[in-house]
């Protein structure tokens, strides 16, 4: 498959902005209208805040490549994975003409980003066990379907999608299949990231916002064929990855053992919460979770949600999503927070149902 043929012709033709730091990054730098004297904020953990960051994100991509065992040429860092979702739509979907396939229920930003970019959405429901219905999904595509978003583990259902189903879509779809692995660290065996070297139309998104505990730093990344990465670099904002964030990400990648400890702690807590919840009257179903959150269905979910909110416990009401009537989603918190949640949930179910 020729990726360039899938991209919008104006993007293929685009002459990208040539930023000062992409042309030169050393010497007497009088080219970018920076403040050469210094920055008003000094002694911050990162130096040279008066200078623009590297537009090619070279140091971070190389470090990330070592962590993932992928060439850095196959990687791009975005301002969260939300930025990458938007960039993919802007590259591949001609506004007012093309569409993206979204497999529901899933993360809401795919649709919002399509709406922003005037790309139509073709929604296909997952099967009853929240897996992909491969024939139905493939047959929803038409000549203008350029992108497909899959989320594994899926938010808000929590489960991994079957790898073989994902790869069947990659082989059968004449467009880009974007697999969002925001929660993959909680069950890494389900990842398809290494397959990006085998399939040019498979792209995998990940983030430092979840397992790594860096939601505030805003960094997500894309692993993809070099042709897709080149298109992304053509249209991204010149200096999207700031010096503070890249410094933090490089440090984080030296601390992957700590991330693994967080993952084990969260997974253990998740099992404990599921076990306790299973014994509560009024809990109708707890869905399998390969992520750091739990989706459950309960009686009177509207009122349970409101009751918890009144007690200061904020979870997500997902009951308006397709297939999720009566469903709420809680993120695994600290042990103390989880205990407060369980107690309040027990009270809510006793008082309301």
Residue 116 C-alpha from the chain's centroid? 18
Q: How far is the CB of 300 from ligand PLP (least distance, A)?
A: 26
Give 99 or 209: the residue with its C-beta nearer to ligand PLP.
209
CB closest to ligand PLP, residue no: 80
Torsion of CA 179, 185, 186, 188, to 10 degrees: 70
Give Cβ neighbours of residue 337 (< 8 Å, ≥ 6 apart): none
Q: Are 96 and 139 in contact (CB under 8 A)?
A: no
Give 92 or 208: the residue with its C-beta nearer to ligand PLP.
208
Q: Are 241 and 57 in contact (CB under 8 A)?
A: yes
Q: How far is the CB of 9 from ligand PLP (least distance, A)?
A: 29
Give 242 or 353: the residue with its C-beta nearer to ligand PLP.
242
Q: How far is the CB of 151 from ligand PLP (least distance, A)?
A: 5
Q: How far is the CB of 294 from ligand PLP (least distance, A)?
A: 14
Q: How far is the CB of 188 from ligand PLP (least distance, A)?
A: 16
Q: How far is the CB of 221 from ligand PLP (least distance, A)?
A: 9
Give 137 or 207: the residue with its C-beta nearer to ligand PLP.
207
Give 112 or 352: the residue with its C-beta nearer to ligand PLP.
112
Q: Given the rule CB under 6 A, which residues bind ligand PLP?
A: 80-82, 107, 151, 155, 180, 182, 207, 209, 215, 220
Q: How far is the CB of 15 from ligand PLP (least distance, A)?
A: 29
Q: How far is the CB of 182 from ligand PLP (least distance, A)?
A: 4
Give Cβ neighbours of residue 272 (< 8 Å, ≥ 6 apart): 338
Give 212 or 307: the residue with its C-beta nearer to ligand PLP.
212
Distances (CA, A) of 144 to 138, 182, 295: 13, 27, 34
Give 49 or 84: the residue with its C-beta nearer to ligand PLP.
84
Q: Are 34 and 14 in contact (CB under 8 A)?
A: no
Q: How far is the CB of 218 from ligand PLP (least distance, A)?
A: 7
Length of the chain: 353
Give 6 or 102: the residue with its C-beta nearer to ligand PLP.
102
Give 210 or 243: the residue with its C-beta nearer to ligand PLP.
210
């Amino acid at each position: 498959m020729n990726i360039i043929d899938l991209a919008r012709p104006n993007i293929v033709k685009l002459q990208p902005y040539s930023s000062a730091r992409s042309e030169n990054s050393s010497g007497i730098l009088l080219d970018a209208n920076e403040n050469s004297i210094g920055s008003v904020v000094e002694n911050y953990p990162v130096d040279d805040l008066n200078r623009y960051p590297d537009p090619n994100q070279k140091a971070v991509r190389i470090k990330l490549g070592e962590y993932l065992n992928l060439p850095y040429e196959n990687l791009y860092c975005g301002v969260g994975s939300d930025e990458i979702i938007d960039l993919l739509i802007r590259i591949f979907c001609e506004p007012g003409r093309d569409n993206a396939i979204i497999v529901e229920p899933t993360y809401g930003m795919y649709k919002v980003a399509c709406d922003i970019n005037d790309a139509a959405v073709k929604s296909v429901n997952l099967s009853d066990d929240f897996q992909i219905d491969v024939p139905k999904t493939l047959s929803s595509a038409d000549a203008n379907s350029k992108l497909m978003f899959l989320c594994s583990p899926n938010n808000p259902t929590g489960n991994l999608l079957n790898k073989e189903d994902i790869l069947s879509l990659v082989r059968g779809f004449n467009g880009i299949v974007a697999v969002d692995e925001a929660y993959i660290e909680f069950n890494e065996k389900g990842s398809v990231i290494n397959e990006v070297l085998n399939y040019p139309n498979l792209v995998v998104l990940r983030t430092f916002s979840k397992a790594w505990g860096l939601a505030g730093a805003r960094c997500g990344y894309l692993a993809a064929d070099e042709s897709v990465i080149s298109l992304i670099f053509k249209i991204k904002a010149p200096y999207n990855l700031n010096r503070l964030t890249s410094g933090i990400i490089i440090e984080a990648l030296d601390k992957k053992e700590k991330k693994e400890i967080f993952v084990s702690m969260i997974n253990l807590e998740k099992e404990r919460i599921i076990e306790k919840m299973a014994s509560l009257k009024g809990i109708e179903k707890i869905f399998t979770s390969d992520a750091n959150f739990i989706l459950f269905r309960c009686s009177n979910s509207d009122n349970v949600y409101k009751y918890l909110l009144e007690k200061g416990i904020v979870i997500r009401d997902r009951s308006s999503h397709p297939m999720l009537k009566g469903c709420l989603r809680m993120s695994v918190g600290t042990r103390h927070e989880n205990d407060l949640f369980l107690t309040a949930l027990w009270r809510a179910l006793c008082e309301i149902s």
